[in-house]
Structure 1
């Protein structure tokens, strides 16, 4: 349960929350995008002042699940679905991918090409380093597709896969390794305390050539029943891969391997929580290595509720950003901070290329108990200044309207071309 002092601290960042003014001159080349339901809104980013400036939004045919920029930063690819937790329907009936042009001066978005229909709910998407292929992961059934990207940036035909691919259970992320020769599919499984059914998690590695995949290796410690990987990120210079383990609240470090894609066993395993002995249900989330490779950041999430005077209120737990310093010789991460999230369920966040500013995006607003009354902790965009030591200092929070039915499901930063 959130105590009075903790809640007062959280609320202080929201009572005086600034508004997001339209039309200010952007003083940096960064744009932060926030997706709430089917609407995608760009924000100009002033890194030095830790401020955002709201731009005009665009919309897709269903709730936005994920987005990824083209390497040229000329286009943004967005996958959407009427399925998923916000819809109250795991399956849904509308599943699409869209391309948008990115205005090089403002970051404004404009639809580009035809909407591409997908068979099931997409949960993640990324673009290969050559900019020739869009890769999409689907959680149920767990699967993937590869689409060609046309020379004009529009989404092209799906690449037929001649090989039967091992795509595990509950795919959650698909990424190209730095060599662009391997694709890594993170499959979460279902093995947290309250999951039903219970399924193993795994990291699947495929070879990748001209859009065609072939099975290479699979990593699943033991039987995979105590391994729930969610997302990974790469060190910019070293052969290290950092993986957030959702259901075990862990950070694991693997090594890239030319033959198998990844090392069979992790180099290091660390807990992400300030209190590893907490009995509350927690979940590690999004992960990003800092642009200079010195630090890695992992979101901790808690969102369970209990009854209080006829209302569902937040039960308690850690919503934070775990900050790890990375040993540049060994790759070992050391936990140096658990920064308060100033919101509930930090599903996504991003760091600007200069490593001065981090912006986090709580998923929704949530009711919180304050003594004998109930108030609301709003969703929003939470800005932190990043110190030279990698630690985060809260700068400000912009409240936004996001609810359980209209969630802030994705957010990310793009540096304009």
Structure 2
């Protein structure tokens, strides 16, 4: 009894000793640089209000259209997205969260049109998806954050292309993302309508080997684009760019099994479709997805926690044009949308009970924003 009373008496002190979750974050913004942007922008984000404050930016970095941040927050990696006529590249940066300074370390050649980049938790490898080149590159990472030349290149073959001849003319790899346990890597190919699955072992010189089976298909002509996993890691969700659908899968150790396909489109919609980005809320209760094209909307779904199935909640205008990318802050309180063609970033507040969004404010200082990434501000 005395021991129990002692532990109870210590409880307030123990609770006070627990580290508080950060209330401010650094928001890194990737852009296309042909319309006045200078590269990557860094803003401070305040979770009490949803306010953004400018900190820093890079210069002379061509089309850093997609970014990723190392787990320790000390390094940033960007693609340099250029088209079919020449090779793209990837750039490594050092990052200082306290003041938001970002400085280039080195650059390596990637495939044509790199459009997505990710890094593993142990910072052993960086992965790029090369849209124009139809390939996926693996770059070893050094201790100082710099990148070595690609150690593995996976080139998709022009076999089994979809029916849309203007969009599915050759392989177009769109995402290269590790599973939450980092045992597998999944990359999508918009043209072959496939989710390709590889086993990942970071200790190997060539860390990726085909899983068995090594792919699953979406509906012909749908064009899979981005993916995300549920918070409990049991479900995988895919947004299709041309079909405008969200496809849900049971996920078990690299083996997705489809359980649902639900449209993003309102009844009778017959305008241009452009499914773009998809994210699950940190609490795992809701899924959000953007549709570009003529809709310029973000759609909200509830996730059934027992089955992983989705139920439509609402659709909201993104208050801009071409919502290419969005991000949910780590506290799960705010959702920020990058509207590429209207040069604005829009802040919404999330109702944690219903999942619905309320418009908060618009920041219009960024030209051609295309990627938003949060990291803790120290």
TM over 0.5: yes
1:145 matched to 2:137: yes
1:238 matched to 2:233: yes
Q: Does the aligned pair in 1 maintain the 2:345–2:369 contact within 8 Å? A: no
1:292 matched to 2:283: yes
Superposition deviation, residue 230 in structure 1: 0.6
Q: Which TM-score applies when normalising by structure 2? A: 0.83
Structure 1 stretches of 5 or more lacking a match?
Answer: 1-26, 84-90, 190-199, 303-316, 366-378
1:126 matched to 2:118: yes
Equivalence for 1:220: 217
Answer 1 or 2: higher relative contact order, Cα 8 Å, separation at least 6: 1
**In structure 1, how many angstroms separate the alpha carbons of the residues matched to 2:82 and 2:238?**
28
Superposition deviation, residue 164 in structure 1: 7.6
Candidates 329, 344, 354, aligned match of 1:380? 344
Q: Does the aligned pair in 2 maintain the 1:31–1:107 contact within 8 Å? A: yes
Q: Does the aligned pair in 1 maintain the 2:236–2:256 contact within 8 Å? A: no
**In structure 2, how many angstroms separate the alpha carbons of the residues matched to 1:401 and 1:92?**
27
Q: Does the aligned pair in 1 maintain the 2:132–2:172 contact within 8 Å? A: yes
Equivalence for 2:300: 323
Please give the root-mean-square deviation of Cα atoms over the aligned residues, in Å: 2.1
Equivalence for 2:315: 338
Equivalence for 1:196: none
**In structure 2, how many angstroms separate the alpha carbons of the residues matched to 1:298 and 1:81?**
23
Q: Does the aligned pair in 2 maintain the 1:134–1:147 contact within 8 Å? A: yes
**In structure 1, how many angstroms separate the alpha carbons of the residues matched to 2:101 and 2:49?**
21
Q: Which TM-score applies when normalising by structure 1? A: 0.76
Q: How many residues align?
A: 335
1:271 matched to 2:263: yes
Superposition deviation, residue 44 in structure 1: 0.5
**In structure 2, how many angstroms separate the alpha carbons of the residues matched to 1:150 and 1:60?**
24
Q: Kindly tell me: are residues 105 and 337 of structure 1, through their superposed partners in 2, closer, same or farther at Cα, counting changes over 3 Å?
A: same
Superposition deviation, residue 70 in structure 1: 0.8
**In structure 1, how many angstroms separate the alpha carbons of the residues matched to 2:157 and 2:68?**
24
Equivalence for 1:256: 251
SS in 2 for 1:155: coil
Equivalence for 2:193: 201
Structure 2 stretches of 5 or more lacking a match?
Answer: 1-21, 34-38, 160-170
Equivalence for 1:398: 363
Equivalence for 1:100: 93
SS in 2 for 1:353: coil
Equivalence for 1:282: 273
Equivalence for 2:12: none
Equivalence for 1:183: 185
